[in-house]
Structure formats: C-alpha cells, structure tokens
C-alpha cells in the first residue's frame, strides 16, 4: 500500500513541476465551463422552459457537469496507451508493481488535484455569476454514483489504452481521439441528453457513457425517483463489472501479444 | 548450480510487410501480408552464479529478445527457461525482487523529478528495509560518484549521468541477477570505462550473475570471461573469449614496412600473401597460419623490408569475419 501512496505524492509533485503548464490546464477547464455556461444562459434568457428544464435547473446542470468533468472525466491514465505503444510498459512489468493499480493511483492523484483547484474556482464563479443553484436532496447518493462513474471511466479509458497492444501507431491516439470526441457528446457533459427525442434518449440509456455525467447529474437535480435511482446504480454497476471483465481478458491477451519488438 | 538455464528457446514474431510507396500503403489498408521473423531460433545455454557473460552479435541477432524472455517480458514461442528457479513469464514478485533489467535506451526514472525520488519509489516497490536501502544507496552513490546529481531533475542530467542514475535505480534492491542491454550505448569513452569498472566491481563484490549485451568489443573484452555469440537467432559460439581466437583464427596478420618504392602487382609473386590493407610504405597481409613463417621469409628475401611484425588476428577482426559470413575454413 505504501508504494501507491508514494506514487500518489509523486504524481502531485510531477504535476506541479511545471507551473505554467498546470495553470494553462486550469484555464482550459475554466474556458470550457464558461463557454457552455454562457451559451445556455443566452438560451434560457429567451426560452423559459427547455424540455422540462427551467433556467435554474439548466444552469445547475452546467455547474454540476463542471464538477463531474473534473472528478470523472479528468484522466492521466491515457499515458498507459503511450507506454504500451512505446514499450515503456516493460519498465513496469519487470517490477513487483501492479500496472493497473499504478495508473489508478495516478488518476486518483490527478482527480484530487483537479478537484481541489476546481473547488476554489467554482466558488469564485458562483460569486460572480450568482446563478440560482438547485440543491440536491440526495447528496450522498450523488457522491456515491459520482465515485462509481469515476471508476467506470477509468476502466473504460484503460480498456481503450489496451488498443495500443495491437495498434501502436501514433501511440494509440487515432482511436482515443475518436473516443474523446464521442464521449463529450454521449456523456452529456455539455448538453443535457433528455432534450433529445425519447427514442434517442432510449439509446443513451443503454450506452454506458450517459452514466458518467448525465445520470449522476439527474440525481443531483432531483429529477429521478427512487426506482430510477436504483436503476442508475444497477446499470452503472453492470457496466463497471462488464468493463472490468473485458479489460482483464483483453489485458491478458494483449500482454501475450506485447512483442516488445524494437520497443 | 546454474542460475539461468535456457533450453531450445524459440521466439518468433509476426510482422507485417508493406510494399513500398503510396500504392503499397493503400493496398495494405485492405490486405496485409504477415511473416514470421525468427528472432531466436532454438538456443540453449546455462549460466552459473557469479558469472559475467557477454552476449554479442550484430543488430537483430536476437540478443535483446533473449534478455526480454529471461526477464519475463516476452512469452517464448517454444522451449524452457528458468531463472533463479522461476519461470520468468509468470512474473512472480519473489522473482522480480531478485533481478533487474537495464536497457540503455529506456529509462525508468521519472523524467521531471530528481533521481532520488525515483530511488525512493523503488525502495517502496521492492519493499527494501530502511537500513538496507540507506546502506546500498550510500555504496552506489560512492561507486558511481552520484552525489551531486541526486537532487537534480532527471531531464537536466547528461546522458552519462542519467545512465549512472539508471544503473543505481536498478541495483537498489541488490539483484542477484542483472541483465544489461547496451548499458554503455551513446556514452563517451571515459564514461564507458567508468561503467565497465563499476560493473566489474559489482560482480565481484556481490557475486551477482550478469548478462551483458554490447556493440562495443571493449566492454566484452574487459568484462566477460565467457561470451555467447549469437547470429540470426542461433548460438554461433559459447565459451571463453580467448578460445575464439584458437578456434577461428586460422590466419595471421603480417604487418610490413618497406624500404624503397613498391607496387601492388609486385606481390603477385607470393600468392599466399593476401593484402588486407595497402598504404605504402606499410602493407598488411593476411596469411594462413601455417604459411606465415614461409611468407615472411619470402618477403624478407624478395623485398627491402624495414620492419616486419607477425600478430594474431584481433577478436574484432574474427568476429567481423564471422558476421560478414566469410568462409573461415
């Protein structure tokens, strides 16, 4: 356990080595937040009700999405992809160290760091923008589902990294890029998914991506009843287990394939 | 007792072949041809405790592949491999705590942090007790003169300094078995020498079993009593370095410095003397061992000779001949 705690601390040290780099990263996150906030603000000013969202619900959705982006979608473990493609994976495989746990630790460290900065930023924005925030009645459930969502994203992202075992070209970026593009839309991190027609919402409901941002958000917004909450937890857990099992299978096959040839 | 034993090891890779040019690229989008590359093709050897063995061979001979199989990175296509009584590919922590692999072209140190941070991480990873860690670190810092570099960001170190830190990081858990893949690559002569001296020292002090691959003959000549020469995935020679000369050097080298003008065709009268370097007044001949004296006598009688030297071929020459596929018989 001690080794992972040290990895956690080293990750912070590493991230804070380049102050400018870190500041730019935060600026990027802030711009993303402001852009979608101001966009929706303009819309709610002319329409008072959009697909069941009144202005304060919608603006809260954006605030909560910003939180979930920092908790769930922040991720440094895409580095695994580069290490698999480039052969640096070898450095870990020869040591008594779990590669999966190593990146999980680094991701946790990254999320913790992002969240601590985010909490300061969000308070500042709250004071400046003064939106009417909807408070949740299910704080603990919200935190619990957010945690599961973060884990789900980690598994999903790690699974995508294993793609580099078979396709090391461009460090596995072609596929990851596509994934990130799709994710931004499918997770509902900038648009509440239920403003789309019900048939499309049904598809979102089956896919795992909406459980990363959209459904946790719905729990915060008190827009789901007890049955729906149970469903959300069940489906998230199902995907979590499914991805974990697929990951284990793929990882084992990937390692056999890891020829390390010239890498 | 043998620490490492390898029998009938084979490792084949499947690689895909692309025809050159854009047309080939487009074709490869639809249909890919795969081919088996026999990186290691049926090799066997065993190494005892405390031995320092050199692996030599041209690029792509299978040296690195063999080290990777021994480290558990590659799954062998066929054959049996045992290191310290373990099967490497199982990657048991008990095994991993007893060996190290150093690749001259890969780094395990955290790039943006001082080397000492990576050392501390290795301490936790290998679960090295505090006192042992301090003692080993002090020793390594002294042997490699690392003191000033420990707290410098790794990216700011020179290649040689970084290589020394890499070595130290790999040795903190006092491995019994050490695999070194081109540890001196890209280093200047002075630094190469330092690393060599260190490895020699380390081997003697700790009775560590070491396998080393290198392109630099000096590394091998100075460090290894035993060499394994690999070419095209097969063992070509396994034994003491000086035996290579006995076994393969059937030529001697005659270095002659002439007095007065000479012409290349002049030497046609002695057909057994093959010119291997012609830069008058110095000419170097390569002569069959048993004819050496005879040829020397002829040269002395037929020409004005200022100086004549008969030497054995150097190891470099022999190995070069081996690898360029020249007939040695």
Of B96, B103, B112, the CB nearest to A95: B96
Q: Which of A18, A22, A90 to mutate to test the interface with B (most CBs of B within 10 A)?
A: A90
Total domains present in chain B: 2
Q: How many CB atoms lie within 10 A of CB B107?
A: 18
In contact, B174 and B206? CB cutoff 8 Å: yes
Confidence band, pLDDT 50/70/90 cuts, at residue A5: very high
In contact, A157 and A74? CB cutoff 8 Å: no
Confidence band, pLDDT 50/70/90 cuts, at residue A144: very high
DSSP characters over A113-125: HHHHHHHHHHHHH
Give the integer Cα–Cα distance in Å for B70 and B64.
10
Interchain contact A138–B (C-beta under 8 A)? no
Q: Which domain holds residue B266?
A: 251-325
What pLDDT, on the 0 to 100 scale, is given for residue B194?
Answer: 85
3-state secondary structure B101-121: EEECCCCCCCCCCEHHHHHHH
Give the integer Cα–Cα distance in Å for B105 and B182.
8
Interchain contact A20–B (C-beta under 8 A)? no
Q: State the nearest Cα–Cα gap between A117 and chain B, in angstroms.
A: 22
> Which two structure tokens, joined as six digits, stand for B142?
């002294």
Backbone angles phi, psi at A119, to 5 degrees: -65, -35
> Which two structure tokens, joined as six digits, stand for B109?
């140190």
User: Do B73 and B210 share a domain, yes or no?
Assistant: yes
Strand B52-56 to B177-181 pairing: unpaired
pLDDT digits (tens, 9 = 90+) for A27-80: 888 898 899 899 888 888 887 788 888 888 999 999 999 999 999 988 888 888
> Which of these three, B211, B229, B245, is where a domain ends?
B245
Interchain contact, A90 vs B73, CB within 8 Å:
yes
User: Do B240 and B255 share a domain, yes or no?
Assistant: no
What pLDDT, on the 0 to 100 scale, is given for residue B327?
Answer: 47
B13 domain-assigned: no
Interchain contact, A13 vs B113, CB within 8 Å:
yes
B93 domain-assigned: yes
> Which two structure tokens, joined as six digits, stand for B79?
């054959």
B51 domain-assigned: yes
Q: Which of A96, A255, A258, A263 to mutate to test the interface with B (most CBs of B within 10 A)?
A: A96
Q: State the nearest Cα–Cα gap between A250 and chain B, in angstroms.
A: 16
In contact, A190 and A65? CB cutoff 8 Å: yes
> Which two structure tokens, joined as six digits, stand for A189?
């991190």
How many CA atoms, within 13 angstroms, populate the side-chain half-sphere of residue A180?
A: 12
Per-residue confidence in pLDDT tens, chain B, 329 aa:
789 999 999 998 877 777 777 777 777 777 777 788 888 999 999 999 999 999 988 877 888 889 999 999 888 889 999 999 999 988 999 999 999 999 877 788 998 999 999 999 999 999 999 999 999 999 899 888 889 989 999 999 988 889 889 999 999 999 999 999 988 887 788 888 888 888 998 999 889 999 998 877 778 888 888 999 888 889 988 998 878 777 777 778 888 888 878 887 888 888 888 888 888 888 888 888 888 888 888 888 888 888 888 887 766 777 777 777 654 44
What pLDDT, on the 0 to 100 scale, is given for residue B329?
Answer: 40
Closest CA to A215 of A238, A185, A184, A188: A188
B285 domain-assigned: yes
Q: Write the CB contacts of B217 (distance below 8 Å, at least 6 apart in sequence).
A: B56, B315, B316, B319
User: Do B170 and B63 share a domain, yes or no?
Assistant: yes
Chain B contacts in chain A segment 73-92 (CB below 8 A): 87-88, 90-91
Mean pLDDT on A97-126: 92
> Which of these three, B181, B214, B245, is where a domain ends?
B245
User: Do B268 and B170 share a domain, yes or no?
Assistant: no
User: Do B89 and B238 share a domain, yes or no?
Assistant: yes
Of B117, B124, B153, the CB nearest to A2: B124
pTM: 0.82
B22 DSSP assignment: H
Q: State the nearest Cα–Cα gap between A150 and chain B, in angstroms.
A: 26
Of B97, B107, B117, the CB nearest to A10: B117
What pLDDT, on the 0 to 100 scale, is given for residue A262?
Answer: 46
User: Do B104 and B215 share a domain, yes or no?
Assistant: yes
pLDDT digits (tens, 9 = 90+) for A185-205: 899 988 899 888 889 999 999
User: Do B211 and B69 share a domain, yes or no?
Assistant: yes
> Which of these three, B245, B264, B282, is where a domain ends?
B245
User: Do B208 and B286 share a domain, yes or no?
Assistant: no
Burial of B86 (0-12, 13-18, 19+ CB in 10 A): middle
Interchain contact, B125 vs A90, CB within 8 Å:
no
Of B13, B73, B122, the CB nearest to A93: B73
B27 domain-assigned: no
User: Do B233 and B265 share a domain, yes or no?
Assistant: no
User: Do B160 and B174 share a domain, yes or no?
Assistant: yes
A to B CB pairs, distance under 8 Å: 67
In contact, A56 and A220? CB cutoff 8 Å: no
> Which two structure tokens, joined as six digits, stand for A187?
């997770």
B101 domain-assigned: yes
Q: Write the CB contacts of B254 (distance below 8 Å, at least 6 apart in sequence).
A: B273, B284, B285, B286, B287, B292, B295, B296, B299, B308, B309, B310
Please tell me which residue of chain B has the smallest CA distance to A7: B121
User: Do B256 and B241 share a domain, yes or no?
Assistant: no
Give the integer Cα–Cα distance in Å for B319 and B301.
33
Residues of chain A with C-beta less than 8 angstroms from the C-beta of B119: none
User: Do B229 and B293 share a domain, yes or no?
Assistant: no
Interchain contact A206–B (C-beta under 8 A)? no
Of B96, B103, B108, the CB nearest to A96: B96
What are the residue ranges spanned by the domains of chain A?
A: 2-260
How many CA atoms, within 13 angstroms, populate the side-chain half-sphere of residue A228?
A: 13
């Amino acid at each position: 356990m001690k080794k992972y705690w040290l990895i956690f601390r080293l990750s912070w040290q590493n991230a804070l080595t380049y102050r400018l780099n870190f500041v730019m990263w935060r600026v990027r996150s802030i711009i993303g937040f402001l852009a979608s906030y101001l966009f929706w603000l303009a819309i709610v000013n002319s329409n008072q009700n959009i697909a069941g969202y009144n202005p304060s619900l919608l603006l809260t959705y954006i605030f909560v999405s910003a939180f979930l982006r920092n908790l769930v979608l922040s991720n440094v473990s895409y580095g695994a992809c580069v290490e698999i493609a480039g052969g640096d994976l070898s450095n870990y495989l020869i040591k008594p160290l779990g590669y999966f746990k190593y990146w999980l630790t680094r991701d946790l460290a990254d999320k913790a760091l992002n969240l601590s900065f985010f909490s300061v930023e969000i308070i500042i924005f709250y004071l400046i923008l003064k939106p009417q925030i909807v408070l949740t009645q299910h704080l603990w459930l919200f935190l619990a589902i957010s945690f599961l969502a973060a884990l789900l994203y980690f598994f999903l992202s790690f699974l995508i990294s294993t793609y580099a075992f078979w396709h090391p070209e461009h460090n596995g970026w072609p596929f990851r890029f596509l994934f990130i593009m799709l994710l931004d839309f499918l997770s509902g991190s900038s648009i509440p998914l239920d403003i789309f027609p019900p048939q499309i919402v049904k598809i979102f409901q089956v896919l795992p991506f909406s459980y990363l941002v959209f459904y946790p958000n719905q729990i915060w917004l008190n827009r789901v009843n007890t049955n729906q909450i149970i469903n959300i937890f069940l489906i998230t857990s199902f995907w979590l287990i499914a991805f974990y099992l697929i990951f284990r299978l793929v990882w084992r096959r990937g390692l056999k394939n890891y020829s390390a040839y010239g890498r | 007792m043998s620490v490492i034993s390898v029998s009938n090891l084979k490792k084949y890779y499947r690689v895909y072949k692309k025809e050159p040019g854009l047309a080939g690229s487009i074709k490869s989008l639809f249909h890919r041809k795969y081919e088996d590359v026999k990186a290691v093709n049926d090799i066997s050897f065993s190494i005892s405790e405390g031995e320092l063995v050199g692996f030599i061979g041209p690029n792509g001979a299978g040296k690195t592949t063999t080290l990777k199989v021994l480290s558990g990175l590659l799954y062998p296509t066929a054959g049996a491999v045992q290191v310290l009584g373990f099967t490497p590919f199982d990657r048991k922590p008990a095994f991993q705590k007893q060996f190290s692999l150093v690749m001259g072209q890969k780094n395990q140190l955290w790039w943006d942090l001082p080397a000492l941070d990576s050392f501390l991480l290795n301490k936790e990873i290998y679960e090295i007790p505090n006192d042992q860690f301090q003692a080993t670190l002090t020793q390594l810092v002294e042997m490699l003169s690392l003191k000033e570099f420990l707290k410098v960001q790794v990216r700011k170190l020179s290649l040689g300094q970084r290589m020394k830190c890499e070595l130290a990081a790999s040795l903190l858990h006092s491995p019994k078995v050490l695999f070194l893949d081109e540890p001196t690559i890209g280093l200047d002569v002075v630094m190469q020498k330092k690393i060599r001296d260190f490895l020699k020292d380390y081997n003697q002090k700790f009775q560590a079993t070491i396998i080393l691959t290198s392109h630099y003959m000096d590394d091998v000549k100075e460090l290894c009593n035993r060499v394994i020469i690999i070419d095209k995935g097969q063992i070509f020679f396994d034994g003491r370095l000086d035996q290579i000369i006995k076994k393969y050097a059937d030529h001697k080298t005659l270095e002659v410095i002439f007095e007065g003008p000479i012409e290349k065709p002049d030497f046609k009268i002695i057909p057994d003397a093959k010119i291997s370097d012609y830069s008058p007044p110095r000419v170097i001949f390569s002569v069959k061992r048993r004819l050496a004296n005879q040829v020397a006598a002829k040269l002395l009688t037929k020409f004005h000779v200022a100086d004549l030297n008969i030497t054995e071929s150097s190891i470099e020459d022999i190995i070069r001949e081996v690898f360029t596929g020249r007939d040695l018989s």
